[in-house]
């Protein structure tokens, strides 16, 4: 698994695409938070708060993470190297986890420079009126869990097609459905005034919950179950491909 993990990291940074994807994430965030006028501009808001960043980041992740994961299995299938990997003394679970943790590491790497925003907010805060550190820590945990869910979806989408563009579009679609669709469905009032907790099936409800600074066991179990589901689906797809080749 470690060898697969290293291979993913090396292949990502072997081309300019890796640096471009992470660079775009930081540039887009920086422009919206500090340069462009609007609701996300921290300087215009009059409050020393990172809430605009934690509101904007999930939507940028919606495109960033599928761009990271789209080549994970798609490229192996297209180049015919997946069969070679499957012949090695490596279980399908180890292969999936190696790919997944490689993608997740890159997500964390993209998030690391944003800690400078925390320092900037702390400096901007008036004396005795510093930002709530609990909310910031909880929001970062929420963003990491969100990125982990998107990465699991992206890895699953990648194994479904040898075409990276198709994998990217499919991952964006699935991530959007998982993040927004359940809440939108609950707001349509199709159930005679009762949503019956449908919004709790979506990622957004749990992301917002954990972003309040309280690490709730229910949110943690949801995120871990969501990740497990898509990694299990990926593993089943890989097993089916292995049996076909056999």
Q: What is the pLDDT of residues 200-227, one digit of tens each?
A: 888 988 998 888 877 788 899 999 999 9
pLDDT for residue 189 is more than 70? no
* CB atoms near residue 175 (< 10 Å): 25
pLDDT for residue 143 is more than 80? yes
- How far is the C-alpha of 168 from the C-alpha of 190, rounded, in Å? 32
pLDDT for residue 98 is more than 80? yes
Which range (50-59, 74-83, 125-134) has the least confidence? 125-134
**Per the structure block, which two tokens stand in for 208?**
């917002």
Are 141 and 210 within 8 A, CB to CB? yes
Q: Model pTM greater than 0.75? A: yes
């Amino acid at each position: 698994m470690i060898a697969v993990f290293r291979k993913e990291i090396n292949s990502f940074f072997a081309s300019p695409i890796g640096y471009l994807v992470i660079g775009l994430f930081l540039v887009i965030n920086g422009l919206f938070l500090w340069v462009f006028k609007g609701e996300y501009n921290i300087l215009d808001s009059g409050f020393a708060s990172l809430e605009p960043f934690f509101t904007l980041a999930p939507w940028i992740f919606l495109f960033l993470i599928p761009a990271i994961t789209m080549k994970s299995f798609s490229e192996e299938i297209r180049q015919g190297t997946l069969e070679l990997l499957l012949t090695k003394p490596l279980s399908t679970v180890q292969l999936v986890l190696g790919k997944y943790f490689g993608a997740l590491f890159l997500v964390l790497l993209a998030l690391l420079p944003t800690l400078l925003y925390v320092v900037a907010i702390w400096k901007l805060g008036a004396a005795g009126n510093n930002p709530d550190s609990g909310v910031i820590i909880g929001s970062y945990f929420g963003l990491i869990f969100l990125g982990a869910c998107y990465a699991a979806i992206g890895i699953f989408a990648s194994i479904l097609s040898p075409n990276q563009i198709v994998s990217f579009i499919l991952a964006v679609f699935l991530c959007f459905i998982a993040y927004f669709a359940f809440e939108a469905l609950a707001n349509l009032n199709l159930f005679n005034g009762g949503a019956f907790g449908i919004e709790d099936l979506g990622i957004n409800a749990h992301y917002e919950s954990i972003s309040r600074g309280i690490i709730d066991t229910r949110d943690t179990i949801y995120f871990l179950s969501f990740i497990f589901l898509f990694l299990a689906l990926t593993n089943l797809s890989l097993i089916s491909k292995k049996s076909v080749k056999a």
